[in-house]
A and B are shown apart, each in its own frame.
Chain A
Amino acid sequence: MNRAISWILNYKGFIIAGLLSAIIISFYIAGELTARNSSGEVQTGPLRFLSLAWQEDAVKVVNEITDQWNQRHPEQQVELIQGSWSAVHDFLITGFETGDIPDIFHYESAIIVDFALRNYLADLSPYISKEMREDVLEVNWASVTRSSGEVIGIPFLNASSIVLYNPDLFAEAGVTPPTIENPWTWDDVHAAAEKLTIDRDGDGVTDQWGTALGLRNCANIFMNLSISFGGSFFYNDDQGNIEVRVGEPEKKLLGTMAKMLFIDKTMAPSGVGKSGTEMIPGFLAGNYAMVVSSGAWARQQLVENAGEGFHWAVMPPIKAISQSMGINSQTLSVPNSCTRQAVAMEFIQFLLSAENSTRLAISDWVLPTRKSSIADPRLQDVASGWNIVSQNAQHLSVGPWVGLPGYVEWKSRVANPTFQEFFSGRMSIEEVAERIERESASVLARYQVRGLKW
């Protein structure tokens, strides 16, 4: 034993080198074997489809449709990769940079614009069938079509916002909810919120708030709402460049929210640090009579989680000077590097056929982009708020920020932090305007220097 150990120690250099070489060689062989197994598949094997469907029902529907495709197309199989919304950006960015990217991927129109500007995405326009082109809302096509006519993704679900309310609390306070024909203005919301904000036990602390709005990372909400106030934050300057201005419409929008939050005190202050999703438990607990600018998907949470006897409903979009709202849709795209773009698009058209689009919308509780799906009787149901959500389609509009180079960075570096400070009571509206205009100029200038054009 001792001899053996001494021998080992005498030749330790060689032994260590040998062991390290063995480890490296074994890793290489393992990799080589994996590559051999998969290299055949890369050329003739399945197309890889990254899906972000995450709700149980939605995952099931996507799986079923993919299975149907695979049964009907044995020579053009599709492998489903289940992605996650929280990590998809890092996944795609590294995928594009390294060239290892799924053949079809699910994401959202506001963000794929940046990928398109870097020429990562295939132009799908030659492959879109006449039926699909005519059936999908024009406003949706506008959000994914470049000035050259290239289509960078197929929009299939719209992230439209809704106003949820509690009919029992309304009835108790003697407030009559609006109808599709007679929507509320923001003045109506103010008046109702005052009646609905109640200190039930008389201890000087509000127990029930008239309105609630998740204000954490709220840039998206305010961009979309600004359209109904006649603003948009982004305007063309004299040289044809885009500049950010916080004018009267934008100030009015911010002032409307600030009035409810700070002056009337009819908006729940807890919303300042919360997302829209995090407002739902409070709504279910009866703490809020209305939740403004909630996603249409929130209805699914209500259906699944509402206790017995809890009632909820959806009201039509609130009118400022119009009921318009900005658009952001979930999309399916194909990377430029995909060698089988035509087949990939065939699969997308199968996945997003009229019937399948309706199934996907119902399973995800969001507004579809196809007119035929929107008109489907299942999407006119009143009890689940589908009738209002479907009506929202006519109010969708493309904001001037769509396709703007640097918009994603602008939202996270300028808009979100500034709005957050404003709603924490640390800035006035004038200071918000000054800061947004100043900081936006430096962020957007960088992108204009790069010469990126939508």
Chain B
Amino acid sequence: MESMNIISGRMLKRRVSRVLMHGLILMFLVYLLFPLIWMISTSFKPTPEIYSGIPTLIPEVFTIEHYLTVLEEERLLVSILNSLYVGIVTAIIVVLISLPAAYALTRYRTSVNKLVMGWILTSQIFPAILIMIPLFIILRSLHLTDSLSGLVLVYVVWDIPFVLWMLQGYVKEIPVELEEAAAIDGATQGQIIFKIIMPLLLPAVGAAVLFAFISAWNEFFFALVLLKSPDLTTLPVELARYTGIEGQARTGPLAAASFIATIPSIVLFAILRKWFSSGALQGAVKG
């Protein structure tokens, strides 16, 4: 009887903690999603309703006028294409460089490893504003200002340290025994890397691609300063043009354009979602 009470007490505790956990997750989700939902709701409200001072989540009158307004402005579409180009190319180059570098830094221990990692961490300390002017001068001497290639180069350099650091952590998690076992079975180094390690690193590659893409997609300051031609503007810089003097903004079009701006990130995440759940290591090595 007593043992049954203990068991039911434990079950109750487990249930309560589960409910609490789910409650906290739900609250966190609401906290994360609320601004997005509010933005979407605003984008479908007519302007007088936005300024009515009465906050409503569901528009009283549903309109797509703000979407039509922003899509009529050719500049927004051009800026989306520019941002897509910059984001995709950055993500590809960052991963192509960081992945082998992370593997080498983890598996081949040399005297420069610590120095390299120390420098990578140190490079993260400097804010963009501090390096902007020297960076601009260097890029200008290479004729890379006012060019999407120049911007990609900056983003690649800016993103590599973090991505490298992140990928290094993933590589460390892969047991060396897997590579040793493959080598004993006669696999070459190339086969080990491409057939054993790469599939296991897919979640990490997904995260790296997503990070590099989103950071390039959202970046404002470098794009503002480095790109001058109207045809090369990226989306964040274009969005800033919906705000005016003394905090005024074209709120409806801004919300619509911002929602459009989030779509590629959501689509990319949906595509890469499978990668995040693949490559599980459970059971790879017997304890």
Contact = CB atoms under 8 A, between A and B. Distances in A.
Interface string A66-92: 000000000000011111111100110
Contacts of B93: 23
Interface in A154-213: 159
B144 A284 contact: no
A31 B189 contact: no
Contact of A9 (B146, B190, B247): B190
B62 interface: no
- Interface band, chain B: 35 or more
A122 B247 CA distance: 30
Contacts of B244: 54-55, 85
Contacts of B274: none
The 7 closest A-B pairs by CB, nearest first: A5-B190, A285-B53, A35-B143, A31-B143, A305-B51, A84-B240, A281-B53
Contacts of B249: 277
A257 interface: no
A419 B169 CA distance: 49
Interface string B163-204: 000000000000000000000000011110010000000000
Given A81-B230, A97-B133, A277-B247, A27 B142 contact: yes
B48 interface: yes
A4 B190 CA distance: 9
A100 interface: yes
Contacts of B188: 2, 5-6, 9
Interface string B122-152: 0000000100110011011011111101100
Interface residues of A, number: 56
Contacts of B133: 94, 97-98
Most buried by B among A28, A159, A281: A281
18 contacts: A2-B188, A5-B191, A6-B188, A23-B93, A27-B150, A30-B149, A38-B146, A82-B241, A83-B241, A84-B243, A85-B243, A87-B224, A91-B225, A98-B133, A277-B248, A297-B245, A297-B248, A304-B47
Nearest to A286: B53
A390 B158 CA distance: 51
Interface string A286-329: 01000000010100010011110000000000000000000000
A60 B69 CA distance: 14
Given A86-B240, A277-B248, A28 B142 contact: yes
Contacts of A31: 139, 142-144, 147, 149-150
Contacts of A85: 243-245
A284 B52 CA distance: 6
A43 B143 CA distance: 16
Nearest to B253: A56
B88 interface: no
A278 interface: yes
B7 to A, nearest CB: 53
Given A48-B228, A98-B137, A100-B228, A34 B189 contact: no
Contacts of A79: 230
Given A27-B150, A28-B142, A295-B245, 19 more contacts: A5-B190, A32-B143, A34-B144, A34-B146, A54-B243, A55-B244, A80-B230, A82-B75, A87-B220, A87-B224, A90-B224, A94-B133, A95-B225, A98-B137, A275-B247, A281-B51, A284-B51, A285-B54, A301-B51
A276 interface: yes
B153 interface: yes
Interface string A96-121: 01101010000000000000000000
A52 B242 CA distance: 11
A311 to B, nearest CB: 15
Contacts of B50: 305
A352 B139 CA distance: 36
Nearest to B132: A94
A22 interface: no
B14 interface: no
Contact of B191 (A2, A95, A285): A2
B255 to A, nearest CB: 15
Given A9-B190, A84-B243, A277-B246, A287 B53 contact: yes
B28 interface: no
Contacts of A97: 133
B221 interface: yes
Interface string A6-27: 1011000000100000010001
Contacts of B51: 280-281, 284, 301, 305
B250 interface: yes
A204 to B, nearest CB: 22
A295 B245 CA distance: 10
A18 to B, nearest CB: 14
A271 interface: no
B242 A81 contact: no
A417 interface: no
A129 B143 CA distance: 39
Interface string B45-79: 00110111110000000000000010000010000
A285 B143 CA distance: 54
Of listed A34, A79, A282, residue having the most chain B CB within 10 A: A34
B237 interface: yes
A277 B149 CA distance: 39
Contacts of B100: 16
Contacts of A307: 48, 52
A173 B58 CA distance: 35
Contacts of B48: 304-307
B216 to A, nearest CB: 16
Contacts of A277: 246-249
A94 B93 CA distance: 28
A55 to B, nearest CB: 7
Nearest to A34: B147
Nearest to A95: B225
B9 to A, nearest CB: 47
Contacts of B129: 90
Contacts of A95: 225
Contacts of A102: 228
Given A297-B248, A305-B50, A100 B191 contact: no
A95 B137 CA distance: 11
B142 to A, nearest CB: 5
A278 B230 CA distance: 31
B242 A54 contact: yes
